[in-house]
Amino acid sequence: MLIGTRSDRRMSSQSYDAALARLFAPRRPTQNLIRKAYINHWHRARVLDRELSEGQKEAIADRMRHSLATATAAYRKVNAPA
């Protein structure tokens, strides 16, 4: 939940989409694209020259309110350039 820019009320989904469009103009990214970028970043991240453990990936998935299987199947890009 985000607070609206012109009021102290909850931002509607239309306002959120419009804010994303203004931030990234002329492109129009979606929330799903941001989720995909986040998953791909962390699934390829190396901590102390090691890949993240399955437990760490599961913790990220849990915070994003999906499973590691969903992250791998729906969001993770295989063979994407680094």
pLDDT-derived band at 80 (thresholds 50, 70, 90) equals low
pLDDT-derived band at 78 (thresholds 50, 70, 90) equals low
Q: pLDDT of 11-27, one tens digit each? A: 888 888 888 888 889 98
Alpha helices (H) in the chain, listed in sequence order: 13-23, 31-44, 54-63, 68-70
Q: Domain ranges for the chain, please list them.
A: 31-77
Provide the whole-model pTM.
0.66
Q: Is the peptide bond before 81 cis (omega within 30 degrees of 0)?
A: no
Q: pLDDT of 18-72, one tens digit each? A: 888 888 899 888 888 888 888 888 887 766 577 888 898 899 999 989 999 988 8
